[in-house]
Amino acid sequence: MNTEINETMTSIFGNATISHVSGNPHSHQSEFEILPIVGFETAIEEISQWDGYSPTPLYSLKSLAESLSLGEVLYKDEGSRFRLGSFKALGGAYAALCLLQKQISFTLNHEVNLKDIRVGNYAEEASEITLVSATDGNHGLSLAWGCQRFGAPCRIYIHSKVSEVRADAMRHLGADVIRIKGDYDDSVELARNEAERNNWFVVSDTTWPGYS
């Protein structure tokens, strides 16, 4: 497998050129301003308990690194994650779970934990919370899979260029898939507007002013 990846990647980058741009990055770790270390720890603890979870492989592409005169090239293969064939298999599903936790806690006026939602202790409450998103495919697969696993209705908005194979994959996971004639930005706008009108909740992999 590793040899095949090396050969494929080497051929892809056969005519590549390498350039360098000098920078002066800030000394602080900005990622921890968005998600503090405790957030990473909580995510790891929860996701590692999901049925079917296992670490995905990290390959060292030595031939490719040598051909590009680099010390090392590492390739993280997420394709096997939960058999979704998606490189975003974790994010949408985990975001869905966190949103369900927030909304159910608010509705019941007491804090509920992620595990209790995962094992179905709040299945009735979750079933009344509809999650929506626009997608090119990868994020939508993760969200649909997460909603199916945690018991929440899911609506996915796709644009005209998204393949029917991906649409069917999301339908197979229980999502209502709405195809529009426009482009990705149009699908984002429609998902946002319909969520606002129907008191649904957007779980997006893009952003706009006021969305968090």
Is the Cβ–Cβ distance between 48 and 98 less than 8 Å? no
Phi, psi of 158 (to 5 degrees): -125, 150
First and final C-alpha spacing in the chain = 40
Where in the sequence numbering do the catalytic residues fall?
88, 136
192 membership: H or E segment, kind and range: helix 184-198
Is the Cβ–Cβ distance between 156 and 133 less than 8 Å? yes
The amino acid occupying position 45 is E
